[in-house]
């Protein structure tokens, strides 16, 4: 584009090429839209009103295609909201009047409005630093040419407007330095950088969407961190692998619940009324009574051919385990004359005794061992010492 500027000396042909270029790029790119509107303004300045109808037609179609622009310009930053809103309203008024009138009412007002709006939007946009410099030069070229042309056709009002547009081009010169320094594109760093007025506005005003996006991403990152502490395998290389870990861990936990509820459910379910009574009564007196009652009540499904003593031991064990770690529970057992041994030994003992109850215990031990997988082999409570 810069080459085109240099090579084409004649403004008109140059403008035509730009016009064609911008149309070909289409309305997707901000740069193309800028070019489009600049070309329109140039045409406005260059062509006389003697060309009449075709000029008006061009302007009308140009303005109409530029309609999405005012809509986009509305959600700009706080500092320039008033100005852009004002400009958009004025532009719309002029558009309506132009549409209705059909004569060359496309006066200097609309032109100035367009130019100012473009400059505003231009400042508010995040343009890549690479294309920025070329655009900036083009802007300088255009404004210079516009000013020179304006003095030919519309002297008084244009002088006012382009006088105001002059200082607005000044921040643009400062802007590339900041854009070059920070990473281009949306959402670079915190919005409140007081370095440049343009910079702060740019950070805030990029879109409310990008700010919301940034906040959302930060919140998600926080939650991921807290999840990472819960899940045992915590190497946060990226979000996707972390999510996979989380999913696997949830599945694993649910599987553990399944397995644990399958194993020894008879035993647990039978002893549960005992412990439940204890927990509801909550006193040591209730322990003895409940133990006696439950032992009498216990159905044939109980694996426990136990006496009241072991029941009370078990109850106290439950309480201990709730309050402290397994270590203290083990100590309690040892005080009571019980010992702990690994599962394999316990199964060996149980096979040695060879009752049907103990064989079922062994099966469930094996199930437990298989279900717990990679965890440490849990020490198993043993049979009371003889």
Partner 1 sequence: MSPPQQPSSTNPNSLKIRLTHRFLHNLNNLNKKRSNLDNTQIHQRYNRVKLAAYASMAHVVGSRRAWSRAILWKIRNRKVSTRHKRVDHKPTNHHHARSIKRRTTNHSNPKREYVDPNGNSGQEVKLRKLVPGVETMDACGLLDETADYIKCLATQVEVMRNLVDLFSTI
Cα 246 from Cα 255, distance rounded (Å): 14
Spatial separation of the C-alpha atoms in residues 145 and 45, rounded to whole Å: 9
**DSSP code, position 50:** G
For partner 1, the binding residue among 266, 286, 293, 342 (CB under 8 A) is 266
Q: Tell me 103's DSSP state.
A: S
Separation between Cα atoms, residue 132 and residue 293, nearest integer Å? 87
| Alpha-carbon gap, residue 59 to 306, rounded angstroms | 99
Nearest to 108 by CA among 81, 124, 88, 90: 90
- Closest distance between partner 1 and the C-beta of residue 241, in Å? 10
Q: Does 268 bind partner 1 (CB under 8 A)?
A: yes
Q: Widest CA span of the chain, in angstroms?
A: 119
State both tokens at 324: 């402290």
Closest CB to partner 1 among 143 and 350?
350
HSE, CB side, 13 Å, CA atoms: give it for residue 312.
15
Is 381:338 a contact under the CB 8 Å cutoff? yes
Q: From the CB of 68, what's the least distance to partner 1, in Å?
A: 25
CB of 148 to partner 1, least distance (A): 50
- What phi-psi label fits residue 52: left (phi over 0), alpha (psi between -120 and 50 degrees) or beta? left
Q: Which stretch in 17-25, 38-46, 71-79, 227-235 sits in contact with partner 1 by CB under 8 A? A: 227-235
Nearest distance from residue 155's CB to partner 1, in Å?
A: 55
Cβ of residue 191: shortest distance to partner 1, in angstroms?
20
Binding mask 94-133 for partner 1 (x = CB under 8 A): ----------------------------------------
How far is CA 302 from each of CA 273, 319, 350, 367, rounded to the nearest angstrom? 12, 21, 16, 19
Q: Count Cα neighbours of 208 within 13 Å in the Cβ-side half-sphere.
A: 7
Locate the DSSP E strands across 280-383: 340-341, 380-381
* Residue among 181, 212, 234, 265 that touches partner 1 (CB under 8 A): 265
The yes or no reply on residue 372 touching partner 1 (CB under 8 A) is yes
| Residue from 272, 289, 345, 348 binding partner 1 (CB under 8 A) | 272
Rank residues 12 and 216 by Cβ distance to partner 1 and give the closer one: 216
273 binds partner 1 (CB under 8 A): yes
In the shown chain, the binding pattern of residues 195 to 224 toward partner 1, with x for contact by CB under 8 A and - for none, equals: ---------------------x--xx--xx
Site string for partner 1, 301-340 (x = CB under 8 A): x-xx-x---xx--x--xx--xxxx-x--------------
d(CA 316, CA 298): 19
Choose one: 79-87, 115-123, 145-153, 359-367; the region binding partner 1 (CB under 8 A).
Answer: 359-367
Site residues for partner 1 per CB under 8 A: 216, 219-220, 223-224, 226-227, 230-231, 240, 243-244, 246-247, 249-251, 253-254, 256-258, 260-273, 275-276, 279-280, 299, 301, 303-304, 306, 310-311, 314, 317-318, 321-324, 326, 346, 361, 364-365, 368, 372, 378, 380-383
């Amino acid at each position: 584009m810069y080459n085109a500027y240099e090579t084409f000396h004649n403004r008109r042909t140059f403008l035509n090429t730009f016009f064609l270029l911008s149309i070909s790029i289409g309305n997707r790119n901000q740069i193309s839209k800028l070019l489009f509107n600049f070309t329109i303004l140039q045409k406005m300045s260059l062509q006389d009103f003697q060309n009449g109808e075709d000029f008006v037609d061009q302007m009308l179609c140009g303005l109409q295609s530029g309609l999405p622009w005012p809509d986009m310009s509305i959600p700009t930053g706080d500092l320039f909201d008033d100005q852009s809103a004002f400009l958009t309203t004025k532009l719309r008024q002029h558009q309506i009047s132009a549409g209705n009138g059909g004569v060359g009412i496309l006066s200097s007002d609309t032109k100035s409005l367009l130019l100012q709006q473009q400059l505003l939007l231009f400042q508010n946009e995040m343009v890549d630093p690479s294309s920025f410099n070329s655009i900036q030069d083009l802007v300088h070229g255009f404004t210079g040419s516009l000013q020179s042309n304006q003095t030919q056709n519309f002297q008084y009002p244009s002088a006012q407007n382009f006088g105001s547009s002059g200082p607005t081009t000044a921040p643009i010169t400062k802007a590339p330095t900041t854009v070059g320094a920070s990473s281009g594109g949306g959402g670079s760093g915190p919005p409140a950088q007081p370095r440049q007025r343009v910079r702060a506005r740019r950070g805030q005003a990029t879109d409310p969407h990008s700010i919301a996006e940034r906040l959302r991403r930060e919140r998600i990152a926080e939650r991921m961190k807290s999840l990472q502490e819960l899940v045992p395998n915590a190497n946060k290389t990226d979000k996707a692998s972390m999510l996979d870990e989380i999913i696997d861990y949830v599945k694993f936990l649910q599987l553990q619940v399944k397995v644990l509820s399958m194993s020894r459910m008879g035993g647990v379910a039978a002893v549960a009324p005992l412990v439940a009574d204890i927990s509801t009564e909550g006193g040591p007196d209730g322990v003895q009574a409940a133990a006696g009652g439950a032992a009498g009540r216990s159905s044939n499904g109980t694996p426990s051919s136990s006496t009241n003593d072991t029941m009370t031991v078990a109850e106290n064990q439950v309480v201990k385990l709730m309050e402290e770690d397994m270590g203290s529970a083990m100590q309690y057992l040892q005080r009571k004359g019980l010992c702990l041994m690994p599962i394999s030994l316990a199964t060996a003992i149980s096979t040695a005794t060879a009752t049907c109850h103990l064989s079922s215990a062994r099966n469930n031990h094996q199930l437990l061992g298989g279900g717990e997988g990679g965890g440490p082999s849990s020490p198993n409570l043993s049979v009371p010492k003889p």
